[in-house]
A = this chain, B = another copy of it.
Amino acid sequence: MRNIAVKIMYDGGGYHGWQTQPNGITVQERMEKVLSELTGEIIAVCGCSRTDSGVHALEYVFNFKSNTGIPAERLPYAINTHLGNDGIAAVAAKDVSEDFSARFSSDGKRYVYKIWNSTLQNPFTAKYSWFVPYRLDVENMKIAAEKLCGKHDFSAFMAAGGSQKTTVRTIRECVVKESTEWREQLEVEVEADAFLYNMVRIITGTLVEVGTGRKTVEDIEKIIRDCDRRGAGMTAPPEGLFLKKVFYKPELLEW
């Protein structure tokens, strides 16, 4: 039986996240339906992460087992033809080894969170960013972001509901930068070996509170040390968050 990894991108605005659930249509459901139609088999897919309702993906990876004869390089076209304009597009597909798991074989992910920092809205970015109409001290946000890097217990940056064994994670990079697309847009990029539930959204909420002056750069170390969710900032809304990259060792999966 083949094991096939698929890279997709999706606009999460119309979806209740990745994982199948009773309350609304999810990306997982959409993909399983399309792949079942294409292959004539009952397909179950394994996604690289649960993304929340409304969160977007510039790159998302899942894998599925199948006996289909469709060559991997043809699969994205076949998927896209079935999907139509559904806010999801397949970008690539590869045959992978039997034990590859999009979720458990990943050794890191990178997210970008977009903030619209202006008193005036923008109709092109409104669905893809958090509208923050307050003046932000971006330099302080940049310094605070640096202080989050490294191996720490990030329980203060985790929403209730996670099922992880440990809350220690290694943030490889955390940067705040001005967008090249729009002058009014800021981006928080975070790369880690793995993430806790809502971690990037809580990090962003905390950095914005440093930007407004509600918290100081010095608070960051204390927030990490105290391991108390109440010490960190608010959870930024889902529409600004994009999964940007999912990492695998090249011997497991290289696009």
Contact = CB atoms under 8 A, between A and B. Distances in A.
Most buried by B among A123, A126, A128: A123
A79 to B, nearest CB: 10
Oligomeric state, in copies = 2
Interface in A46-65: 56, 58
Contacts of A122: 9, 89
A85 B85 CA distance: 22
A218 B89 CA distance: 38
Contact of A9 (B56, B85, B89, B124): B124
Interface in A71-122: 76-77, 80, 85-91, 119-122
A119 B9 contact: no
A121 B180 contact: no
Interface residues of A, number: 25
A10 interface: yes
A11 B181 CA distance: 16
A124 B119 CA distance: 24
A123 B181 contact: no
Contact of A121 (B89, B120, B124): B89
A128 B181 CA distance: 15
20 contacts: A9-B123, A9-B124, A10-B123, A11-B123, A56-B124, A58-B124, A76-B120, A80-B120, A80-B121, A85-B123, A85-B126, A86-B123, A87-B123, A88-B123, A90-B120, A91-B120, A124-B128, A180-B180, A180-B181, A181-B181
Interface of A: 9-11, 56, 58, 76-77, 80, 85-91, 119-124, 126, 128, 180-181
Identify the 5 closest CB pairs spanning chains A and B, nearest first: A11-B123, A87-B123, A89-B121, A89-B123, A181-B181
